[in-house]
Copies of this chain bind each other. A is one copy, B any other.
Amino acid sequence: MKKLLLIPLLASGFFFGQNTQDAQALKKISTQILTQGEAYNDLHFLTKKIGNRLSGSPAYEKAVQWGAEQLKKAGAEKIWLQPVKVPVWERGTESLFIKTPSGTWTKMKMLSLGNSEGTQGKDLVGDLIMVNTLEEFNQLKESQVRDKIVFFNYIFRQDFIETFEGYSDAGKYRSSTASLVAKKGGKAVIVRSISTAVDDVPHTGGMHYDEGSKKIPAVALGPLGADRLAQLLKTSKVSAKLNSNCGMKGEKITHSVIGEIKGTLDQKVIAVGGHLDSWDVGEGAQDDGAGVVQSIEVIRTFKKLNIKPKHTIRAVLFANEENGNRGGETYADSLNVKKEPHLFALESDSGGYSPRGFGLAMTAEQSAQVKSWLPLFEPYGIQHINDSYPGTDIIPMKKYGVALAGLIPDSQRYFDLHHSESDVFEAVNRRELLLGATVMTQLIYMIDQHW
């Protein structure tokens, strides 16, 4: 297997001049991180000692303190907290029972969807109707939906190779169906979780109500629970009893965490980040503890290797990606206010899996240059550098002309655990996480050297 590493570089004639220097610098970064990287230990603390951390929660505040301390330990020369006003959503208690044909109430594993309102602690009882797709729902008359609880059993499309395509495809069932059902007089929505797993773990995630919509409760079932319910509905009339306390509890000021190493040449900023908040189940390990500790690793690696960047290298641990993106919006708007020139921003928010590519959102000229670096990145597992969506936290910077990129890791396992109790430290592999941090640091290095 030894040949594999060298062939891509040799074949492309990249072993000469500047490219030789770049290749050597990239190798140094890789060796540093794979042998001395601390991202995995950092993630252990964040997930096991702090745990899940929805913005607005006490755990999120602990994460803010932890993030600032870690950036300091990693060698950031200046660290500050950026105030962000976030919505406060709380889950509270919740339960869902299904009345089986035998007349007994059976408890289902469920999660209220994020941002949804609950039943204010009262039992909401109604007859269930099932649709497999939005198209089926749209054909239902108001009289068929009125006072019903609508179960959307849309099955995740496993035929896509990239699971993010399946996620995009199924996303509207989680985000948008509550208002559609309310409009036709329905009482509540139950959705099949957006999940690639074959288990009974429900996945939460953000939903929203349309302007002026009645805020009916929306909950998710695990895939196997959804299968059982669908089977039951084929032959029987089924009613459901939902009781929940979730809901929006106003707003609160919290913070994104920022740390940087000053550039030796100018004040221009190269940013790298992930989001510090997570949903309120599991441990927020892959989503997005991974991106947070990888971003800290970028700072640490510049310091450990004593690389003096030309531009300022800044790590941003964003608040509130999951239910509002106020951290990303606030950061982007602060650029405008402070007239801070940003050269580039990189996000990691697709999990700490083996890196496979970068998605770029920048000018054609910049994009062509970054794509020309592909042979330098291939030995580290990067297969493609394409123009695509870079990440939710950084996308607000696009309107200020900042060149953006997102890490694209292998996507096969992400939606087994995304927004669920399965997203725990144990689901993260040390080498995969560090290899992601490696290519992130390498890309930041290349941008710093060549822009």
Residues of A within 8 A of B (CB): 1-5, 7-8, 30-31, 34-35, 40, 158-165, 168, 196-198, 354, 356-357, 359, 378-381, 383-384, 386-389, 408, 410, 412-413, 416, 429-432, 435
Contact = CB atoms under 8 A, between A and B. Distances in A.
Q: Which has the most chain B C-beta neighbours within 10 Å: A40, A158, A162, A416?
A: A158
Copies of this chain present in the complex amount to: 2
A165 B1 contact: yes
A82 to B, nearest CB: 29
A191 B81 CA distance: 49
A412 B388 contact: no
A15 to B, nearest CB: 17
A157 to B, nearest CB: 8
Contacts of A35: 158-159
A202 B5 CA distance: 29
30 contacts: A1-B162, A1-B165, A1-B408, A3-B387, A3-B388, A4-B386, A5-B162, A7-B386, A31-B159, A34-B161, A35-B158, A35-B159, A40-B198, A161-B379, A161-B380, A161-B435, A163-B431, A196-B430, A196-B431, A197-B430, A198-B430, A354-B354, A354-B412, A378-B383, A383-B383, A412-B429, A412-B435, A416-B429, A416-B430, A416-B431
A1 B391 CA distance: 11
A416 B416 CA distance: 21
Contact of A388 (B4, B384, B410, B431): B4
Contacts of A354: 354, 410, 412
Q: Which 7 A-B pairs have CB atoms at the shortest separation, nearest pair first?
A: A383-B383, A412-B431, A31-B159, A1-B164, A412-B432, A34-B158, A354-B410
A158 B412 contact: no
